[in-house]
Amino acid sequence: MKPPTFQEGLEPLKAEAWVLETEKLFEVFPCTEEHKVLSATFTLQEEARRWCMLIRDTNNVMTWAQFKEAFYEKYFPQCVRDRKVTEFEQLKHGTMLVAEYESKFTKVARYAPHMVDTDYKKARKFEGGLNVEILDRINVLKLLKYVDVLDQTIIAKANVAALKQSKAPVT
């Protein structure tokens, strides 16, 4: 397994990806908070490594949570995270395929966990972003679980497509 690396620059999504990949390693290789920081900082390169050395000099003992907070403050600023929350709040099905909408929904939901912290809230948020012609077929079912909303959305989308095809003029 090759640990993720992070070099430098204001590339918030790469910074977040580095944190997520690093935390994935911690799931497989559990270690103390101090070792998490040491292991993670070992993979930093160039400017990021210099930044890390600077903050470690001022904070001798640092937990992973403290390190992550400082790292995000530097490389994944709050204004960028706020934009991601807004992106999630405004996410609409639009012209995307259902699979694309679901993928984007899942990807940006992590920035607004308070909006999807229960299965019911997640189901309502997903449902609320659907196109009207699909939404009309889904919300009458009053489904409580996200997986059920997704399943019925896929079925409804296929039914709408089939209906449109059957009404298409024959040439």
In this prediction, residue 139 carries a pLDDT of 93
Q: Which two tokens stand for residue 127?
A: 């449902």
Q: Are the C-beta atoms of 126 and 150 separated by less than 8 Å?
A: yes
Positions of the chain with pLDDT under 50: none
d(CA 26, CA 8): 22
Q: Are the C-beta atoms of 43 and 5 separated by less than 8 Å?
A: yes
pLDDT in tens, 34-64: 899 999 999 999 999 999 989 887 877 889 9
Q: Which two tokens stand for residue 126?
A: 């997903």
Maximum alpha-carbon separation in the chain = 76
Closest CA to 75 of 48, 101, 97: 48
In this prediction, residue 5 carries a pLDDT of 85
